Amino acid sequence: MRLTVGQALVKFLTAQHSERDGVRQRFFAGCWGIFGHGNVAGIGQALLEASDDLRYYQARNEQAMVHASVGYARMKDRLQAFACTSSIGPGATNMVTGAALATVNRIPVLLLPGDVFATRAASPLLQELEDPRTHDVSVNDCLRPVSRYFDRIWRPEQLPSALLQAMRVLTDPAETGAVTIALPQDTAAEAYDWPDALFGDRVWRIPRPRPEPQVLAEVADAVRRSRRPLLVAGGGVHYSDATTALRRLAEQTGIPVAETQAGKGALPFDHPSALGAIGATGTAAANAIAREADLVIGVGTRWTDFTTASSSLFASDDVAFISLNVAGFDAAKRSGIPFVADARAGLEDLAGALPAWQVDASYRERARSLAAAWDTVVQRAYHLGHQPRPAQSEVIGAVNDASGPRDVVVCAAGSMPGDLHKLWRTREPKGYHVEYGYSCMGYEIAGGLGVKMAAPDREVYVLVGDGSYLMLSSELVTSVQEGIKLVVVLVQNHGFQSIGALSRSVGGQGFGTRYRYRDAQSGQLDGPLLPVDLAANAASLGATVIRAGSVQELKDALAAAQAADRTTVIHVETDPTAASPDSEAWWDVPVAEVSSLTSAREARTRYEADRRAQRPALRPARRS
């Protein structure tokens, strides 16, 4: 079959399927793109011809289209994904941040940037980065360290092997992330006689590897000998559809469950075994149990510094670790027993190996009591009655109360993710979508767009601060264009308030974090507030806008947004000085060891005291 490289690539994508547990579906849901000279005549022309087989979506920003793809794939448990195409030059480098986010979070996305001429006939090209040492690199090589697989197609003959390797990585639950296939623009338009076999339907079966029997026996023995075990649910619980298996194990054994940011929603917030969020942004309940635990069983977690409170949280002298993860790299962390398996398969087999074992009734009751006490704290934070502007916790409470059990909250950066992690009451799996692996400012609206595309029957609430909104609000236009409804709650607090609070805690006095005029006398950015009207900006992008000045007005606005059939932005000002409940955990942010500032010297004293609780070297799980 004679096709151009671009046409062959698109035709191949339409024939790829994933299958897990006997359920088969097309792997690629479509292709996002912004066209320029590097891809308009290659992939662009091919997508036009194949528009009935692979839908094209027009983005406004290349980073945003990768974020939307990540939101979609995460919501689909990585069983479906998007491709993203850009031109060479700034279009390609704009995708680097999105690629990093996808790879950090282990989410599949295929990137198809245009590239320089393979023939070098017209070099130097518009937007070509010339390297005097070699002609074998372009700006696309920036994508290498943030891609799980990278290839450049200099000749048509190279395409089939590259496509097969790309699909291998995209559909591998242990290896997935961003995959980049760079397409020199002359090669993309070149015709070639392709074998018909390249375009036949191909099914990529997603395996559920079960644990090795010997390792399973060792893990079960460690659990039986523990007295204060704790399960930590990570994102892998959701991706492997293991929430039911987790609930059954928790109910069978009485082991309490804490959740990472990616794992939140693994259990309903009011389940008897649920402790809620863990770590630096966790609940006092989960962190109290974590400090006492003698065995910590991580399920599908990467053990980030927020989860472990920078290795200070698990404080018991006899604490041991088990890491159940499909990726051996993550399973080997924490100096414990590497329990390599699919999360659902591993939990099911562990339950089968512990048919009659349970924790003591007193331990189970202590976990329940702590969780109930924390829920009282949440209820109080939801209804502070703070004046004159509401606290951020009240905004979260209003949205939580207005949302349905199956609705989805989306967030990524600023102080909101920490507050959501410990305060949001998740009722069903996939109802909580906070990107905190890369915590990328600007993810919220674009990611929410992808979430809504993956779950059109669920209301999607995007919570975004003014800092993130200013960085990447462009996909409001896409949501209006495509008729993809979002409810966006835009929290205006006049600056980077999360980092402002962190700055003050390390003696930095909030330097460079406030949105204010420069004061002529001090020379600093500490003058009056900037007269920025983000509500007017959102309206100019085509969204319906409602201004809410109080909690009651916010509740009324949420009701109106729910009844609407198009994207609605609710603008609400909050008081950034109103603190949320304390997680009673630490996060390691080094403080200047010497400084002329009294605030920094005092912060260094606190830092050195807090750091004494850090335990970077942890003993392995007890072995029989």
Model pLDDT for residues 295-315, shown as the tens digit of each residue: 999 999 999 999 999 999 999
CB 95 within 8 A of CB 87: no
| Amino acid 127: pLDDT | 84
| Amino acid 122: pLDDT | 84
Q: State yes or no: cis peptide before 124, omega within 30 of 0.
A: yes
The answer to whether residue 594 is domain-embedded is no
| 619: pLDDT strictly greater than 60 | no
The answer to whether residue 604 is domain-embedded is no
The answer on 421 and 337 residing in a single domain is no
* Helices first, then strands: H and E counts in the chain: 22, 23
Q: Is 178 helix (H, G, I), strand (E, B) or coil?
A: strand
Distance between start and end Cα atoms, the chain: 61
For 527-557, the pLDDT digits (tens) are: 999 999 999 999 999 999 999 999 999 999 9
| Amino acid 503: pLDDT | 86
The answer on 426 and 352 residing in a single domain is no
The answer to whether residue 559 is domain-embedded is yes
The answer on 364 and 397 residing in a single domain is no
pLDDT band at residue 128 using 50, 70 and 90 as cut-offs: confident
pTM, two decimal places? 0.96
The answer to whether residue 525 is domain-embedded is no
| 293: pLDDT strictly greater than 60 | yes
| Amino acid 618: pLDDT | 55
Structural domain boundaries enclosing 321: 213-373
The answer on 82 and 32 residing in a single domain is yes
The answer on 552 and 483 residing in a single domain is yes
CATH of the domain at 175: 3.40.50.970
| 103: pLDDT strictly greater than 60 | yes
Domain boundary among 373, 403, 428: 373
Average pLDDT over all residues of the chain? 95
The answer to whether residue 159 is domain-embedded is yes
- The total domain count for the chain is 3
Beta strands in 234-345 (DSSP E): 257-259, 274-277, 295-299, 320-325, 337-340
Backbone angles phi, psi at 486, to 5 degrees: -125, 150
The answer on 402 and 286 residing in a single domain is no
The answer to whether residue 108 is domain-embedded is yes
Closest listed residue to residue 263, CA positions, set 197, 307, 315: 307
| 621: pLDDT strictly greater than 70 | no
| Distance from C-alpha of 67 to C-alpha of 434, rounded to nearest angstrom | 12
The two tokens of residue 1 are 């079959």
The answer on 358 and 428 residing in a single domain is no
For 156-201, the pLDDT digits (tens) are: 999 999 999 999 999 999 999 999 999 999 999 999 999 999 999 9
Domain boundary among 171, 205, 239: 205
Range list of H helices, 173-327:
185-188, 213-224, 235-239, 243-253, 284-292
Specify the pairing of strand 81-86 against strand 109-115.
parallel
The answer on 173 and 235 residing in a single domain is no
The answer on 58 and 189 residing in a single domain is yes
For the purposes of burial, counting CB atoms within 10 Å of the CB of 515, is it exposed (0-12), middle (13-18) or buried (19 or more)? middle
The sign one gets for the Cα dihedral 286, 413, 432, 408 is positive
The answer on 353 and 468 residing in a single domain is no
The two tokens of residue 439 are 């915590």
Beta strands in 13-137 (DSSP E): 16-20, 23-26, 28-33, 56-58, 81-86, 109-115
CATH of the domain at 231: 3.40.50.1220
Q: Which residues contact 434 (CB under 8 A, 6 or more apart)?
A: 261, 262, 264, 409, 410, 411, 412, 417, 420, 421
The answer on 457 and 345 residing in a single domain is no
Q: Which residues contact 380 (CB under 8 A, 6 or more apart)?
A: none
| Amino acid 617: pLDDT | 57
The arithmetic mean of pLDDT across residues 608-612, rounded, is 91
